[in-house]
């Protein structure tokens, strides 16, 4: 049988993450290597719907491996949730001659891809690209490692000034539904306390912990708070509550915000993106479809979309215990 796939499309969708460019480069270069045409769609599903794309050659991804963001831009597409939107996209793929797609993004991206495949039977491979690490079927998502380093470097700086002034800092990090960033960066930054969506510490225990920390001789403290923490207060309310109840503490708040999404990717994220996307292209050429590629036990693996979307990728609560021991 002649190899059916002559053109592969690629796009990035959802919140951008460092390493997406390394991923795009790997798709384009693998296509060039296997003599397959590569089409890059802009702004995720939106570019597929609008027919907004560019032909990608081995040279058009030159020197992007080290850059944050995504040269294909990213977006969340409302139109793709509609039948009309998806039909438009399918028509465009047909017109351009795209035989299969590599989708770089998160959970929502893959869900869209699954429906699209069911409706139009276009082979799809998902590549997990998000700083949140909240995807089953892979130990690490592209961008997560870089985001952790960005957070830890920022908290190191905050620690300098916290120590100099004997202050208590609440630092809010990204992670609306999952505490991966907070938990791992909190351990990495040596935080005195970590608040995550998956575990409600409770206000009383937070106060107790801070008081114990002070008694043990610490004059400054860092509390890392996940955006989606379940304690029932946002980070400013938390700070106010602590200020009221621990009047001798000099409390400050920093919300790290969108800088967590940017920056030159770490070696880990670049290598991960490269390995995942070469495999994604090879799987498509081998006739595979509707799977997500991932890294499990240091090997590139594939997971059925259904399975990946059904299963939970839960945080390692052991790290809460580690954090507790290390903040002694």
Q: What is the DSSP string of 80-118?
A: GGSHHHHHHHHHHHHHHT--EEEEEE-HHHHHHHHHHHH
d(CA 238, CA 302): 42
Tell me the window of 20-28, 90-98, 193-201, 228-236 that interacts with a copy of itself (CB under 8 A). Answer: 20-28
Distance of closest approach, residue 210 Cβ to a copy of itself, in angstroms: 16
One residue of 10, 24, 25, 308 binding a copy of itself per CB under 8 A = 25
Answer yes or no whether residue 8 interacts with a copy of itself by CB under 8 A: no
Q: Tell me how many residues contact a copy of itself (CB under 8 A).
A: 84
Tell the smallest beta-carbon distance from residue 307 to a copy of itself (Å).
18
Per CB under 8 A, which of residues 109..168 are in contact with a copy of itself? 139, 145, 148-154, 156-166
Contact with a copy of itself (CB under 8 A) among 29, 37, 86, 88: 29
In the region spanning residues 291 to 310, those forming contacts with a copy of itself, defined by CB under 8 A, are 296-298
- Interface residue with a copy of itself among 118, 204, 267, 310 (CB under 8 A) is 267
The conformational region for residue 52 under phi > 0 = left, psi -120 to 50 = alpha, else beta, is beta
Distance between CA 158 and CA 112 in Å, rounded?
40
Scanning residues 210 to 249, which ones bind a copy of itself (CB under 8 A)?
Answer: 216-218
CB 116 within 8 A of CB 23: no
Q: Please state the closest distance from residue 327 (CB atom) to a copy of itself, in A.
A: 8
Q: Under a CB-based contact definition with an 8 Å cutoff, are residues 301 and 295 in contact?
A: yes
Residue 30 as a binder of a copy of itself (CB under 8 A): the answer is yes
Alpha carbons within 13 angstroms on the beta-carbon side of residue 24 total 36
Give one word for 41, left, alpha or beta, with left for phi > 0 and alpha for psi -120 to 50: beta
Q: Is 314 in the site for a copy of itself (CB under 8 A)?
A: no
Q: Any contact of residue 326 with a copy of itself (CB under 8 A)? A: yes
On whether the CB atoms of residues 251 and 219 are closer than 8 A, the answer is no
| Phi, psi (deg, nearest 5) at residue 160 | -55, -50
Does 258 carry a binding-site annotation? Answer: yes
Give the number of C-alpha atoms closer than 13 A to the C-alpha of residue 174, restricted to the C-beta side. Answer: 23
Piece in contact with a copy of itself (CB under 8 A), picked from 2-10, 16-24, 88-96, 106-114: 16-24
Which part of the chain contacts a copy of itself (CB under 8 A), choosing from 21-29, 94-102, 109-117, 192-200? 21-29
Closest distance of CB 110 from a copy of itself, Å: 19
Q: Choosing from 16, 35, 99, 132, which is the catalytic residue?
A: 132
Q: What is the separation, in whole angstroms, between the first and last Cα of the chain?
A: 65
Which H/E stretch holds residue 16?
none
Query: Does residue 107 have a known ligand-binding role?
Result: yes
The contact pattern for a copy of itself, residues 245-264, with x = CB under 8 A and - = no contact, is -------xxxx-xxxxxxxx
CA dist 322 and 132 (Å) reads 21
Annotation marks residue 132 as catalytic: yes
Which residues are catalytically annotated?
A: 132
- Mark the binding-site residues, compressed into ranges: 15, 25-29, 76-77, 106-109, 130-132, 159, 167, 174-176, 190-192, 218-220, 227, 252, 258-261
């Amino acid at each position: 049988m002649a190899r059916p796939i002559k053109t592969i499309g690629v796009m990035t969708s959802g919140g951008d993450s460092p390493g997406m460019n390394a991923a795009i480069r790997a798709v384009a270069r693998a296509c060039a290597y296997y003599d397959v045409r590569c089409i890059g769609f802009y702004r995720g599903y939106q570019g597929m719907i609008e027919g907004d794309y560019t032909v990608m050659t081995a040279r058009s991804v030159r020197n992007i491996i080290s850059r944050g963001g995504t040269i294909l831009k990213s977006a969340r597409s409302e139109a793709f949730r509609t039948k009309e939107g998806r039909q438009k996209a399918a028509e465009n793929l047909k017109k351009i001659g795209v035989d299969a797609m590599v989708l770089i993004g998160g959970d929502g991206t893959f869900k869209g891809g699954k429906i699209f495949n069911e409706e139009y039977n276009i082979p799809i491979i998902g590549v997990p690209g998000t700083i949140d690490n909240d995807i089953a079927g892979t130990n690490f998502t592209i961008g997560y490692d870089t985001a952790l380093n960005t957070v830890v470097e920022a908290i190191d700086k905050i620690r300098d000034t916290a120590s100099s002034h004997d202050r208590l800092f609440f630092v809010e990090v990204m992670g609306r539904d999952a505490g991966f960033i907070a938990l791992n960066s909190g351990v990495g930054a040596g935080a005195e306390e970590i608040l995550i969506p998956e575990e409600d510490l409770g206000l009383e225990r937070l106060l107790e912990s801070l008081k114990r920390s002070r008694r043990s001789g610490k004059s400054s403290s860092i509390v890392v708070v996940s955006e989606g923490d379940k304690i029932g207060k946002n980070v400013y309310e938390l700070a106010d509550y602590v200020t009221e109840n621990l009047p001798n503490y000099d409390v400050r708040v920093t919300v790290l915000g969108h800088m967590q999404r940017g920056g030159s990717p770490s070696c880990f994220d670049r290598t991960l993106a490269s390995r995942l996307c070469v495999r994604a292209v090879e799987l498509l050429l081998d006739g595979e479809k509707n799977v997500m590629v991932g890294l499990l036990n240091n090997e590139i693996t594939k997971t059925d979309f259904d399975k990946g979307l059904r299963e939970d990728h839960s945080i390692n609560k052991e790290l809460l215990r580690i954090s507790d021991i290390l903040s002694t």
